[in-house]
Amino acid sequence: MRIGNGQEKPNSTNIIEIPDTLTIPFTTERESLEKLFTVTYPNMHTFFSASSYPSSRVILTTKNDFVNEMNDMLIDRFQGTLKTFVGIDETTEPNDQAQFEDLLHTFNPAGLPPHKLSLKENCPIILLRNLNSCEGFCNQRRI
């Protein structure tokens, strides 16, 4: 936050140094990510009792592919049965459906969920729009 707000001072070589307490040493990709998750979300199974807990912690990454990979790894850490939701893609021309269906399933545009979305109970999600506010399917609502 201090860097984003312009409050963090650079050193003599005009570089902002990140304290060791905020870094995770790299061993292997998997081990380093597991350590990052443990440090960022130390009580994964109990932190949902406080609604502000998930929104007060964040992991930033440079590419959406990394986000999807990390989301999958974090979802694996939740207890319960994995449930997969599959998107429905259609071509504008019904005759082209069979030819392009597999291709459509490979696209993961930014801002949209992947073709296959796997979730577990108590896993936080962000709704892009209010789907059904009467049943609680809306932004800023814990279900």
Per-residue DSSP letter, 66: H
CA dist list (Å): 5 to 10, 96, 119: 13, 51, 35
Contact predicate 114/67, CB 8 Å? no
Q: What is the pLDDT of residue 141?
A: 57
Quick one: which H or E segment has residue 72? helix 64-77
* Global pTM value: 0.65
Q: What is the pLDDT of residue 136?
A: 67
Phi, psi of 83 (to 5 degrees): -120, 130
Per-residue DSSP letter, 40: H
Tokens (6 digits) for 143: 């279900």
Segments of the chain with pLDDT less than 70: 45-55, 111, 127-133, 135-143
